[in-house]
Structure 1
Amino acid sequence: MLKTRWIALVFSFFLMGLSSQGVLAQLPDFTGLVEKNSAAVVNISTSQKVTPTEPQLPEGLEIPEGTPFDDFFRRFFGEGGGGQPSEVKSLGSGFIVSDDGYVLTNHHVVKDADEIVVRLQDRRELVAKVVGSDKRSDIALLKIEASRLPVVRMGSADKLKVGEWVLAIGSPFGFDHSVTAGIVSAKGRSLPSDNYVPFIQTDVAINPGNSGGPLFNLDGEVVGVNSQIYSRTGGFMGLSFAIPIEVAMQVVEQLKSQGHVSRGWLGVQVQDVTRELAESFGMKKPQGALVSRVLAKSPAEAGGVQVGDIIIEFNGQPVVDSPSLPPMVGMTKVGETASLKIIRHGTTRDLKLKIGALPEDEGTLLGAEEVPGAQNSERLGLRISDLTAEQREQLEVPQHGVLVQAVNPGAAYDAGIRRGDVILRIQDKVIKDVNHFNEVVKGLPKGKSLAVLVQRRGGSSFLALKLKD
């Protein structure tokens, strides 16, 4: 009996050994990848001269020369000419994309730099010039005077799979050619400050100094440009974001050819379809990008897109949610004809329109000063008024809509309506004025989610309103 137990124990240890060897055999070996690609990764150091602003004497205060406090005040507040310029240095990473000296990095690495120095693995330090830089994608293209340089091989972020191994080479905290590895956590991530980049999310350790460095797949191909981290401490916390290499190289080509980047533009404001909004539009499940505003003289207006349309496909690609639409449109060439599949009033329709060029963003603000003729809507807990001509011009609302002067506890407050909002529409009814608003509100059903379109500080969005009584 004892002998049998010993045999079973030895056999179990043998199986454990085989199992551990199997696990180890599945772990990737990065050594060859690093040896082949490190030479094409560079350290980027920048310097910028900053003149500090000295405090000035308070307006109207003069200290007569020769008084006991004259020297004290002059030393404390300065002579009015500013302090001595100081040099601010920063570090980042980059990688060589052509053997004649083109280097790709992040826009924020070289922004406002007076001098950019690229340090190669062989310890050469070369001054770089900015060929072009694009804030929206956070991509910059540099040029150094050198030839026969080692270059990286380009891969495809589109072919990446969640869970796949990836590796980063960069200069975190100035430690050149540091290597970190992890897996792809998610794809197509949208960040609040970057609407036109479908980021690759990884758990690769990325820290200050890694920005602009390459993200490799196991085949040694660059699939992304490390750009941002999500952190509450300033250091790595398991969430890193890389720009897909397809996006980066499209920007690079435009920077090389024309010095700036042109992006496709529809001219709509969109938002996610929540469960409550899906119910109000008669949808079985939330999906697509809900159009909350169509800008005047935009491609969308010319193509027949309307407020309340839900875009579910763009050029044959499914639009899962609102953040997925801007990158699709942005990467479409200006002047190209695009196809949209939308849901309007519960019916699926196809539209075609010509893509325009994305203009500079402009915002407007609207005040909510009390005006004569304001009325109370007891059912919603609102105080509303018609808009003045000045307010309509400021908000770019030529007609229709009512201005919210005050919001009391109730259904409207619970839905997110606030003072200063302009209510443009409830379900399919466009609100003409205060009297029309009151008529529409009287007929609203109880216990059902209703889509209310409001405009706030230059942007429009749908809110889900549900009346309880």
Structure 2
Amino acid sequence: MTTPGCSAPACGYKPASIAASLNLGRFHLFRFLLQPSARLLRPLVGLMGSLMFGGLLGVASAAPSPAVTPPPAAAAASAPAAVSATARRVYEGTRAQLLQIRTLLKTQDSQASVGSGFLVSEDGHVLTNYHVISQFALEPERYRLRYATTEGQEGQLELLDFDVRRDLALLRAPAGALKGRGALSFRPADRPLAKGDRIYSMGNPHDVAFAVVEGNFNGLVERSFDPLIYYSGSINSGMSGGPVVDEDGRVVGVNVSAMFFAQQMSFLVPGEFARQLFERSRTAKPLSAPAWPRLREQLLRYQDELVTRFVAQPWASAGHSRYQLPVPQEQFMRCWGRGTPADTKGLEFQRSQCRMEHAVFVSDAMQTGYLDMSHEAYDGAKLGAIRFAKQYSGSFRNERLGRDDKDRTAPFCKEEFVDRAGLPLRAVVCLRAYRKLSGLHDLSVLVTTVDASTEGALGRFDARGVSFDNALKLSAHYLEGFAWTAKKNNDKNSSSNSPSASR
């Protein structure tokens, strides 16, 4: 989610605004990445003057967050489908272990959020989604947790642990409060489901009543950094954290109540991650303080794995005739492209947008832990140099980099000229520090080619929730994706070796 805020020119030089949060002394390392090339400046004075006239700091379009509905705001309710005799049998066999999970204000019974959960031990251990209990986890002084059974029995809950990366949380009811209700077991890992197998999602949609939704297992989602199960049933708000079981009532996944692209498409956290959290933390002491330190620890581990895997991938080809532009491998990112619309009045361009489909939910106002990138390649031969420079720099100037808010600092930016194997670039690198997650930052890298008067490419790369060192790695990796194409290099070499060039 791009926060409305200052444009790149207005954000460029504000060291005092985040001096307390960023170790600014380390920014000299960025200069190592962005070494200026003085010899590039002389032949580009005319072009750069035109670019600066329009303001050269910001890119083709604001970088959006992944097209993902944040877990608490799930898809609209669908009409309930008729359930089979098997679904009725499965529900009757598991209803005693189903719970509604409610987050209430501490001093009154006003409901702040509602979700579902399920018992996994006779000792009152309950699994649900992290996002269902995130308000309590972050502000335990303001909120409390309660459960309700399918018969209406209610009681309090305590938080033992969570896995923010997989959107899971482990709770516990008071000793003996849920005794005798049984516990759901997990389907053995050595008995994987086959595509098409019927599975059954349960929970309390829209705080109306407990329900069972029948659907199919369709394997794991492609191009996902973490494993997610693609489920054909409809998961509605309020079912988050509920179990998804096989025909024998064994847990195969946990509802995350998020639907993408079309209706009747839902995704589940694999049950193995829920089982691991339960086994790891079943004897943990309850968490009573705000969970920011634990969140920070988990997010630092996650971003390190994400960055390591991403920079190990070579860049794919964008297919442009003049420039090599960074396009990621589609292992855990999805890319779209489009060409020139009819109303561009002579400016032709090709656009590519690539992003991770899933973010890590921290709170209603903060999703992090994802990568997003785009580029636009322009041909303004029909416009002429002056008109092209105005539109080209205007696209860069319109970029938004965020602003100072309660979760993150204002951006601190550095810009330099960069020589990438003879291709002159202008690069802007910006960081925003997280206020309550020390050591994590949002990174934005903006790049524009400055080699021609009527042709160019703009690029933007965003990484949410990365360490300073990993921001350096990602910046260097992104810049390495820009170069001349082999054809352009051959044309330059042919020109320099021609008889006319030697006279």
TM-score (norm 1): 0.49
- Give TM-score, length-normalised by structure 2: 0.46
- Comparing both chains, which one has the higher relative contact order based on Cα–Cα distances under 8 Å and sequence gaps of 6 or more? 2
- Which has more strand, going by share of residues? 1
Larger radius of gyration: 1
